[in-house]
Amino acid sequence: MNTALLRSAVAVLLSTTAANAQDSWSHYDLFGGSGMIDMPIATSMPDGQIGVTAGVFGPADQIRLSFNFQAFDRFGATLRYSRIDNYFLPGLEPILDHSFDLHYRFLDETDVLPAMTIGVRDIMGTGLYASEYIVATKTFGDNLRVTGGLGWGRMGSYNGFDNPLGALNPAMSERPDRDWELGGKLELDQLFRGDAALFGGLEYRLNDTWTVVAEYSSDAYAREESTGTFTHRSPFNFGVTYAPSDMYNLSAYALYGSEIGVSATIVLDPKTPQFPSGIEPAPVPVSVRPESTRNTETWDRSMLPDTMLRTLMTQVLSAEGIDLLALEVSDRVMRLRYSNNRYRSEVQAAGRVARILTQVAPHSIETFILEPVFNGIPASAIRLNRSDIEDLENEPGAAEAIYDRAVISHAGQTEGLVETAATEPRFTWGIIPYVEMTLFDGDTPVRGDAGIDLKAEYRIRPNLILSGAIRKSLFGNAADAPVEPPVGDAPQVRTLAPLYAQEGDPALQYLTLSYYGNPAPNVYSRVTAGYLERMFGGVSAELLWMPVDSPLALGVELNYAVQRDFDLRLGFQDYSIVTGHLSAYYEFENGFQGQIDVGRYLAGDWGATFSLDREFFNGWRVGAYFTVTDMPFEDFGEGSFDKGVRVTVPLDWATGRGRQVLGASLASPSRDGGARLGVQGRLYDMLEDGQPSRLSDGWGRFWR
């Protein structure tokens, strides 16, 4: 190769502006939020960003593992697990604690004004870190950030003074003790009460990878000092952060004149996949009909009989990972039902189907109607003009233009469709490794289990599926967990998990026969029978009303569930229960999806689950949920009620291809209250990717 050419080609073509560099200047502190070291700053993390931070300092021996999510541009939340040695008294077991923070930026930084944020740290439960703050941060030039703030609670404990809010209401001057009982509940009566104190600091960026921090902390660590394991010599903390990439950073700290700390953060940005356009092979080019044949009224069936056309199309589409399930062909219109087994994006799959149709469909066919199908059930219909596909391929603005000309509505009648060979029974299987981990279950920091699942599925009809999985644990300590005795009168359900882990290996994870239906327009149904999940078998029936043009969907589910034997073979125990829920799903304009389920849970308790998830167009989901039931908090036990945070990561975000997703949840340990049956294939999750609003959100992938 011509060396001059190579040199010029390699020359960097991006001249990133200073403004861009500044945007990426985010720093996770020892509490895992946006801050300096122990003190927060007002600058928010970029919208949607997730930071997972592990921090430790000693000799006081505190460990903090935090999960931070910038849920909106202005609002974020942090969930934290911490381990504090000698919190109560020297020599006692260390305390393992959960804490939860919220922070809201109410003022944006301008040339003159600083950014300002109000926040609450450790708002639930024990309140070991309970503090509130208002903080201001101003950036000077590209590399200096100055922060000052006012803190209450722990953040008001060093050089504190009378609460200025006491002038408004004398009651604010006193901070009541927190009575956390079993933990896990919102604790609001302390907020912004008691002494306040000032904190502040400087961050200076030496270059793209190194930043130094100096902070004045208003946390006196009084409790830790009183047990004699922490020495507060100075309010000044110093740190250095090394951030060699956008993906992670490492920090080291000198704290309070007596402690040394380190932390590491992994940064995940759901909005920035490794390969935004994917790395699947190119789609086939559009075949353009000669102008003269575009208006042909019919096609010669003696040359290409319907059966041959169906066979040809089944084969060609299957090369794209698409099962053609049914086909209706007239002189001018072709309607297909297909299921996409390869692409995360249903829009991308639809685009590929359309391209293939231009290659194989007889020239007189001008209209393509594509009906994506999920477990045999069509979710919508995309109507495209073949001429538009021919005219727009590889033109600028093609994605928007084809969207404007497409008509997306609900799927058509089954009448007229002829099934293809792809609907014949088919068997598939796989051996897939699994990892399961529970943090801070009881007094063990990490409980986990890893092994393999042997999964198999027999699709008798596209909508009638027999599926099962056998799990073999290879290593882990899940079986070592102690079985807690029952509390109160409620039957034990999820707290029996250790018995299943001890006796049920290998385990029949599930073995079910599922039937999906579409009994009326916009109405979908499911019946699942068999071994529904690890702890329960029985029958589950569900009905969902999900209009294509409405953000609201309503569902009802009814289950008869029998507790399975601990050996996880075929036997059952005596306990059985009828459970069920009424569910409402609502898709908000801004990418948030809310869900409320009201009904009866596995232990016979009645209540409701509230969930809110942020759904990114690329398939990421980050959400939180909680369940309150009529089971008394003291019967529920630690945490008072069930709640958690969950994350779903589409695999193609990391690898550029594939439609698998990875799920993870950070939940309080599963207990007996608010336990919902873990049946697979619930209708809303199954169908939502095919809904018109989803197709519209991800339409940019049509030509990909």
Footprint of other proteins on 312-351 (CB under 8 A) = 312, 316, 319, 342, 345, 347
Q: Identify residues 256-275 at the interface with other proteins (CB under 8 A).
A: 269-275
DSSP-derived secondary structure for 431-453: EEEEEEEEEEETTEEEEEEEEEE
Among 169, 293, 428, 665, binds other proteins (CB under 8 A): 428
> Binding string, 177-216, against other proteins, x = CB under 8 A?
----------------------------------------
47 is an interface residue for other proteins by CB under 8 A: no
By CB under 8 A, tell whether 16 contacts other proteins.
Answer: yes
Phi/psi region, residue 219 (left: phi>0; alpha: psi -120 to 50; beta: rest), is beta
436 binds other proteins (CB under 8 A): no
Is residue 483 a contact residue for other proteins (CB under 8 A)?
no
Taking the least distance from each CB to other proteins, the nearer of 167 and 435 is 435
Burial label for 401, CB within 10 Å (0-12, 13-18, 19+), is middle
| Contact assessment for residue 218 and residue 197, using Cβ atoms and an 8 Å cutoff | yes
CA distances from 273 to 340, 349, 649, 650 (A): 22, 19, 11, 10
Is residue 277 a contact residue for other proteins (CB under 8 A)? yes
Build a one-symbol-per-residue string for 644-663: x at contacts with other proteins by CB under 8 A, - elsewhere.
-------x-xxxxxxxx-x-
Which of 141, 176, 416, 430 lies at the binding interface for other proteins (CB under 8 A)? 430
Tell me the sheet residues that pair with 69.
50, 77
* 247 is an interface residue for other proteins by CB under 8 A: yes
Site size for other proteins (CB under 8 A): 85
> Is residue 308 involved in binding other proteins (CB under 8 A)?
no
**Looking at this protein, which amino acid is placed at residue 119?**
G
Interacting span for other proteins (CB under 8 A) from 62-70, 117-125, 448-456, 475-483: 448-456
> Is residue 400 part of the contact set for other proteins (CB under 8 A)?
yes
- Rounded CA-CA distance 605/628 in Å is 9
Chosen residue from 245, 302, 413, 590 binding other proteins by CB under 8 A: 245
Residue 292 in contact with other proteins, rule: CB under 8 A: no
Q: Which lies closer to other proteins via its Cβ, residue 116 or residue 465?
A: 465
* Binding residue for other proteins, selected from 74, 223, 294, 704, defined by CB under 8 A: 704
- Shortest Cβ 3–other proteins spacing (Å): 10
> Which stretch in 37-45, 50-58, 224-232, 397-405 sits in contact with other proteins by CB under 8 A?
397-405
Q: Where does this chain touch other proteins (CB under 8 A) — which range of 284-292, 437-445, 504-512, 685-693?
A: 284-292
At its nearest, how many Å lie between other proteins and the CB of residue 391?
Answer: 9
Locate 613 and state its tokens.
């998830």
Binding mask 511-550 for other proteins (x = CB under 8 A): ----------------------------------------
We find the least distance from the C-beta atom of residue 359 to other proteins, in angstroms, to be 5
- What stretch of H or E contains 308? helix 306-318
User: How do strand 333-340 and strand 367-374 relate by DSSP bridges?
Assistant: parallel
Question: How many Å apart are CA 445 and CA 438, to the nearest integer?
Answer: 8
What CA–CA distance (Å, rounded) separates 368 from 386?
Answer: 7
360 versus 596: smaller Cβ distance to other proteins: 360
Q: Measured from the CB atom, is 91 or 433 closer to other proteins?
A: 433
Distance CA 221, CA 129 (A): 10
**Residues 358-377 interacting with other proteins (rule: CB under 8 A):** 359-360
Q: Which is nearer to other proteins, 33 or 270 (CB)?
A: 270
Binding string, 613-642, against other proteins, x = CB under 8 A? ---xxx------------------------
Q: Is the dihedral of CA 532, 536, 542, 548 positive or negative?
A: negative
Selection from 131, 135, 133, 218 nearest residue 175 by Cα: 131
Q: 245 vs 413, which CB is nearer to other proteins?
A: 245
As measured in angstroms, the least distance from the Cβ of 439 to other proteins is 21
Selected from 73, 208, 246, 634, the binder of other proteins by CB under 8 A is 246
Query: Cβ of residue 326: shortest distance to other proteins, in angstroms?
Result: 20
- Whichever of 391 and 503 has its CB closer to other proteins, that residue is 391
Please tell me whether residue 354 adopts helix, strand or coil conformation: helix
Terminal-to-terminal C-alpha distance of the chain: 31
Per the CB < 8 A criterion, the answer to whether 402 and 388 are in contact is yes
Choice from 109, 390, 436, 565 touching other proteins (CB under 8 A): 390
Q: Decide: 235 and 256 in contact? Cβ < 8 Å.
A: yes
Q: Does the footprint of other proteins cover residue 283 (CB under 8 A)?
A: yes
Give CA–CA dist 390/349, Å, rounded: 18
Which stretches does DSSP call E strand in 341-463?
A: 367-374, 377-378, 381-385, 407-409, 418-419, 426-441, 444-461
Phi, psi angles (nearest 5°) of residue 222:
-65, -45
How big is the CA angle at 507 (ends 505 and 510), to the nearest 5 degrees? Answer: 165
Ordered DSSP codes for 124-181: BTT-TT-EEEEEEEEEETTTEEEEEEEEEEGGG-SS-B--GGGGT-GGGGS-PPP--T
The first and second tokens of residue 422, run together, are 């792809």
Stretch binding other proteins (CB under 8 A), from 13-21, 166-174, 413-421, 550-558 = 13-21
Specify the stretch interacting with other proteins by CB under 8 A; choose among 196-204, 214-222, 257-265, 395-403.
395-403
| Residue located via tokens 């707290």 | 495
Nearer to other proteins, 412 or 658 (CB): 658
Per-residue x/- marks for other proteins, 95-134, CB under 8 A? ----------------------------------------
Site for other proteins in 581-620 (CB under 8 A): 616-618
Quick check: 17 binds other proteins (CB under 8 A)? yes
Contacts of 26 (CB under 8 A, 6+ apart): 34, 43, 45, 46, 49, 51, 267
Q: Which is nearer to other proteins, 231 or 272 (CB)?
A: 272
Select the residue interacting with other proteins from 279, 483, 570, 584 (CB under 8 A).
279
- Read off the tokens for 631: 């089971």
Query: Least distance to other proteins from the beta carbon of 248, Å?
Result: 8
